[in-house]
Amino acid sequence: MEKKTELRERLLANMDSLAKEEVETSHFIHSNPEPGCEEFKAAARLTDDLAKHGFIIEKPVGGMETAFKAHVSGKTPGPRIAFLAEYDSLGLLGHACGHNFIGTVSTFAGIALQPLMGELNGAVMVIGTPAEETWGGKIILLENGVFKDVDTAMMIHPSNETRMQAHSLAAQVVEFTFHGKPAHAAAMPWQGINALDALIQMFISVDQMRKQQRPTVRTPGVIKYGGERANVVPERAVGQFSCRGEDYEELLEVIRRVNNCADGAALATGTKVESKFVGPLYKDMIPNQTLVKLYEKNFLSIGGVIEENPHKGQGSLDMGNLSHEFPCIHPYIRIAPDDVSIHTAEFRDCAACPMADERLLLGAKTLALTALDILLEPALLEEMRKELKKK
C-alpha cells in the first residue's frame, strides 16, 4: 500500500509540473482547427509532446495519414492501456466539440505516467484517432488492426455536464436517390415524373413514423439535391437520413422502416429509388461498469464533482465499436454551463476558457490514476473482461 501511495503522489506531482505545457498544447490545437483527416498540425503537436517525454512514435497508422500510435513499456509485460486522442474540428465552427481538450488530456495522461513505467508491469499507449466527426476514425483503425494489442481504452469528452459514463445510440447514415423523368414544369408537367415530390413524400412518411417510435429512435434527414431549376421537373433527388437506435438490433428495425417509407414514396409517385449506406455503422456504447467505478473513485478523490445535466440527450460515438471488443469508458467533464450545447460557437469558446484549462488537469490526473490502478492490480482487468463477456 505504501508503494501505491508513493507512486500515486509522484504521478500527481508529475501532472502538476506539466500543467502549463498541457494548456499551451490545448490552446494551440484550438487556434489551429483542422477537419477530419486533415489534422496535420494537431497530430504533429501531440506526437512532438509525446516524443519529447520518451514515447516511441509510430505514424501514420491504420491507413489514416493523421493517425498515430505512441507507446512506452514497463519493466515486464502486463496490462496494455490506451488513452484515445481526438483532435478533429467541425469545419467552420472550429473546435465546437472540444476535441482540442480530448487530444490534450489523453496525451498528457500518458506523459504523466511515463516516468513511472520503469517500476510497473505493462504498457501505456496514446492513440491518435482522427475524423471522429466525419468518418468514425476509431472504426477504421479498429478494422485495420491498430487496437489489436489494446486491453482497455479510455478518454474524456468535454461537455455541459460531468457524467461518469456515456451511453450512445447505434447509428447508420442511409442515402436515398429517387429517379424520375424531366419535363417543362409549366408547359408540360404531365410528361414528367417528379423525383423531388417522391423525396418530400418520404420525409412526410418518416415524420409520421415518429409518432410510434420509441424514445431511443432518431431519424433526422436532409435533402442533398432536389433539382436544378424551378421550371424543370426534377428527374433526380437525393436525401440522407441518420438512422439511430438504442442498440444494433433496434437500428436494423429503424433502417427497415425508413426503407419502407422510401419504397412507398416511390410507388406513390411512379419513381424508382435506390439506397446505400454512407460512412461506417456506429455501434452502441457499452460503458464497462468496473472501469467506470474505478474512474469515479479517482475522480472524486482529487476533488472532482459530478454535475449531470438532466437535459442532455444521446448521440453516437465511434468509441461504441471499440467497447464491444474490449473494456472502455467515455466519461464527460463540464467546461460549459447547462444551456451551452456542444457543436455551437459558444461551446467552441468554452473549449479554451479558464474552466476548460482547469479541467484539463483534473481530467488527465483522473485518467492517469485509473491507469495506474490497473497497472498495479492486473486482476482489475480480468474483472473488466468478465463483465464485457457477460454483456
Residue 60's pLDDT is 98
User: Mean pLDDT across the stretch 48-63?
Assistant: 98
CATH 3.30.70.360 is held by the domain 170-282: yes
Cell numbers for 293? 467505478
pLDDT tens digit string along 216-239?
Answer: 999 999 999 999 999 999 999 999
SS3 category, 332: strand
% of the chain at pLDDT higher than 70: 100
Contact call for residues 249 and 182 (beta carbons, < 8 A): no
The pLDDT-based confidence of 54 (bands split at 50, 70, 90) is very high
SS3 category, 129: coil
Model confidence at 387: pLDDT above 70: yes
Residue 210's pLDDT is 87
Model confidence at 377: pLDDT above 70: yes
- Environment class of residue 351 by beta-carbon count within 10 Å: exposed (0-12), middle (13-18) or buried (19+)? buried
- Environment class of residue 313 by beta-carbon count within 10 Å: exposed (0-12), middle (13-18) or buried (19+)? exposed
Minimum mean pLDDT among 19-28, 207-216, 334-343: which range?
Answer: 207-216
**Phi and psi for 225 in degrees, rounded to 5?**
-155, 135
Contact call for residues 91 and 17 (beta carbons, < 8 A): no
pLDDT tens digit string along 66-76?
Answer: 999 999 999 99
pLDDT tens digit string along 232-274?
Answer: 999 999 999 999 999 999 999 999 999 999 999 999 999 999 9
Query: pTM above 0.85?
Result: yes
Check the CA dihedral 5-8-14-17 and report its sign.
negative
Q: What end-to-end distance do the CA atoms of the chain give, in Å?
A: 33
List the domain boundaries for the chain: 2-168+285-390, 170-282
Residue 378's pLDDT is 96
Burial 123-155 (b: 16+ CB within 10 A, else e): bbbbbbbbbbbebbbbbbbbeeebbeebbbbbb
User: Mean pLDDT across the stretch 115-137?
Assistant: 96
Cell numbers for 103? 487530444
The pLDDT-based confidence of 311 (bands split at 50, 70, 90) is confident
pLDDT tens digit string along 319-363?
Answer: 999 999 999 999 999 999 999 999 999 999 999 999 999 999 999
What is the residue type of 99? H
Residue 255's pLDDT is 97
Question: Mean pLDDT across the chain, nearest whole number?
Answer: 96
Contact call for residues 34 and 90 (beta carbons, < 8 A): no
Residue 1's pLDDT is 67
More confident: 49 or 313: 49
Superfamily of domain 2-168+285-390: Zn peptidases (3.40.630.10)
Strands in the chain per DSSP E: 56-58, 68-73, 76-85, 121-128, 152-154, 157-159, 170-179, 221-225, 236-245, 272-282, 328-329, 332-334
Phi-psi region of 74 (alpha: psi -120 to 50; beta: other; left: phi over 0): beta
Model confidence at 391: pLDDT above 70: yes
